Each structure stands twice: as structure tokens, then as C-alpha cells.
Homo-oligomer: A and B are copies of this chain.
Amino acid sequence: MGIREVAKEAGVSVATVSRVLNHSGYVKEETYQKVIAAIRRLNYVPNGVARSMVKGSTRTIGLILPDITNPYFPMLARGVEDAAITQGYLVILCNTDNNPDTEAMYLSMLREKCVDGLVYVSSSSSTDHVRAFARHLPVVWVDRMPVGVEGDVVAGDDLLGGYLATRHLLSLGRRRIAFIAGPDGLMTAEERERGYRLALKEAGLVPEDELMARGDFQFASGRRAMTEILGRTRPDALFASNDLMALGAMEVIAEAGYRIPGDIAVVGYDNIMFARLAKPPLTTVEQPSYLIGVTACEVAMERIARRELPVQKKLFKPTLVVRASTQGERE
């Protein structure tokens, strides 16, 4: 059953049915009621595909992110979806695992599906696919924008976050502050490291290689990195560039017989739900991930509506959440 059957049932033309459906044009109250009644009787639902075709818009946005299973992303995704639905947009979820091939595949599928825009939590290299895509469609970059690509971006201020975390440890009198870096080439991770270095420098300290190791933002890599570090030196603090790695590191620290924060104070990043449940509760840098998601989606929808808008860059300030992993007392 399509608009045709409804028209016949109501004894009017398809044009009239379309008008009542879209509240467009003039239609007599009486006719309106007839059509509404027919729609009810037939339990008619307009076909969005046909509508999309003629309107040139699908009211759909794609959300591309590394892995919804990573505890940082659900909040962000939720923000995107909540914002989308307020304007009648639906969101298609795509997990890329940071795999460029997977990214490329989703990109081409989304383009073919004619999504109206994209919220893109990129993580790895900027491929040509991405660049080409961004020319065709509104793309809002979250947390990271590949080099050489212009566009809207919504992100947390990771430089500031790294700086705050490190400053906090310094203010506690810690001087040998270990650092677990994130994936190489990932802007988010690099900025946090820059913040770390900046704070050290301000304090007249020099970052030492033996205090640093690299992880991939997963729990297990936090364990590995901390094992590495403890194997060659003895820090009095740790700043891990995300909570998952911080949690992994804390396990290793405890297993090695050190006390947190007595021997080693620990700061993470993200304030995922379980940071406060850790033993001891983890001091961390909180990002307003829900808000970031909401904002990214809003920017995307704005741009969809007005392609010629000036480029927007929105940076959200992180805040330090101090807990027992640095303070020694219960939250």
C-alpha cells in the first residue's frame, strides 16, 4: 500500500495526500480529515526510501569510531544519537578497529547509502578515501582530523588535559613521573604527551626515556607498559594516557608490591565509569564525552542544513577528577 491506495480510499489525488502528509500547501479541513481517516484505516506509513530519493536526503548520519566496546565510546555514541533524534536523524554505527581497509569499506558503503553526513572518530592515518569522501559530504571530525583535511572538528583539549594531569602529580611533590603513551600517530595521544612534556619542562624537569613506554589504549597494553617501566627504573608517579591503561598499570604496580599512591601515584585519562570503582579509585582527567558527541552531531546537522557555513572548531576543556590514587584518602 502506497500513497496511491490512500488517495483512492480517501477519494482524492495523490498530490493531496502528499500535502497532508507534509503539511505543505493548502488543503481544506474537510479534505484533510478524509485523508487522515484513510491513512488510519489503511494503517499507511509513507515510504522513506521514495521520499529520500526525491528529496535528496536520507535523514541519516554515519557514526564511525574505532570500537564501541572501548568504554570511552558508548557515551560519545549516546550523545551523537540523542542529538540526532531531536532532529529526526537516525544514526548508522560503524566500528573500524582503526583498520584503514575497514574504514574505507564503511566509507564507501555509507556514501552509497547516501547518508547526509558523518561524525568521524578517526584514529589512524588519513587515507585518500577519507579525503575524497570529505569533499562529497559533511564530515565532522571528533578528537582528530587527518592532516591535510579541512573541516569541522569537535574535540577535547588533550594538550591541556595532559598538562593538568602532570601538574597535579608535580604539585604532589612527585618528580619521577612515568608516562604511558598512546598509539603512535594518533593526535589525541600525542597531544596528551605534549601536555605531559610541557608541564615537566615548566617544572624544570627533563622527560626521561626510561620513564616512558607506549601502549595502544587497551587494558593489556597498560600492563605491558608498566612492566617495562618497572623493569628498568623506579618512578614515584604514573600518568597513563587513558584509564584502561592506567587500570592495567595499577594491577602491575600492586603485584610488584608497591603502594598506590604511597609509592606510586597514578593518574589516568577519560574518567570512564570504572575509574571510580578501581581500588584505589583512580584520579583521572575527565572529558565531557557525551557533550562532545552531542556537539559533533549538532555541528554535522548544521552543516548538512547549510553547507556554506564557516568551518567550526570546538575544543572542550577537560577537568581533573582527584581520587585516592593520588590523594591517599577515600573519595
Known: A48-B112, A49-B52, A279-B279. A94 touches B69 (CB 8 A): no
Closest to A114 in B: B49
A139 → B minimal CB distance (Å): 16
A interface size (C-beta, 8 A): 48
Q: Which residues of B contact A251 (CB under 8 A)?
A: 277
A60 touches B (CB below 8 Å):
yes
Identify A78's interface contact among B68, B81, B109, CB under 8 A. B68
- Tell me, in angstroms, the Cα distance from A109 to B279 when the chains sit together: 44
Q: Is the CB of A47 within 8 A of B109?
A: no
- Tell me, in angstroms, the Cα distance from A109 to B274 when the chains sit together: 34
- Tell me, in angstroms, the Cα distance from A78 to B90 when the chains sit together: 18
- Tell me, in angstroms, the Cα distance from A68 to B50 when the chains sit together: 31
Chain A 278-301 residues near chain B, CB threshold 8 A = 278-279
Q: Is the CB of A45 within 8 A of B112?
A: yes
**Mask: chain A, 107-123; 1 = CB below 8 Å from B; 0 = not:** 01111111000000000
Q: Is the CB of B114 within 8 A of A48?
A: yes
Q: Is the CB of A77 within 8 A of B93?
A: yes
Q: Which residues of B contact A114 (CB under 8 A)?
A: 47-49
Closest to A136 in B: B45
- Tell me, in angstroms, the Cα distance from A91 to B77 when the chains sit together: 14
A46 touches B (CB below 8 Å):
yes
Closest to A102 in B: B85
A242 → B minimal CB distance (Å): 14
**Mask: chain A, 82-114; 1 = CB below 8 Å from B; 0 = not:** 100100101111110000000001001111111
Known: A71-B273, A274-B274, A277-B278. A78 touches B95 (CB 8 A): yes
A188 touches B (CB below 8 Å):
no
Q: Is the CB of A94 within 8 A of B81?
A: yes
A183 touches B (CB below 8 Å):
no
- Tell me, in angstroms, the Cα distance from A318 to B92 when the chains sit together: 30
Q: Is the CB of B108 within 8 A of A45?
A: yes
Given A60-B92, A68-B77, A90-B109, 18 additional A-B pairs, CB 8 A: A47-B112, A48-B114, A49-B113, A49-B114, A50-B53, A53-B53, A63-B93, A67-B78, A69-B74, A71-B273, A73-B74, A74-B74, A91-B93, A92-B93, A93-B93, A274-B274, A277-B278, A278-B279
Between A and B, 7 residue pairs with Cβ closer than 8 Å are A48-B114, A49-B58, A68-B81, A81-B94, A91-B93, A92-B92, A93-B93
Query: Interface residues, chain A, CB within 8 Å of chain B?
Result: 43, 45-50, 52-53, 58, 60, 63, 67-69, 71, 73-75, 77-78, 81-82, 85, 88, 90-95, 105, 108-114, 132, 219, 247, 251, 273-274, 277-279
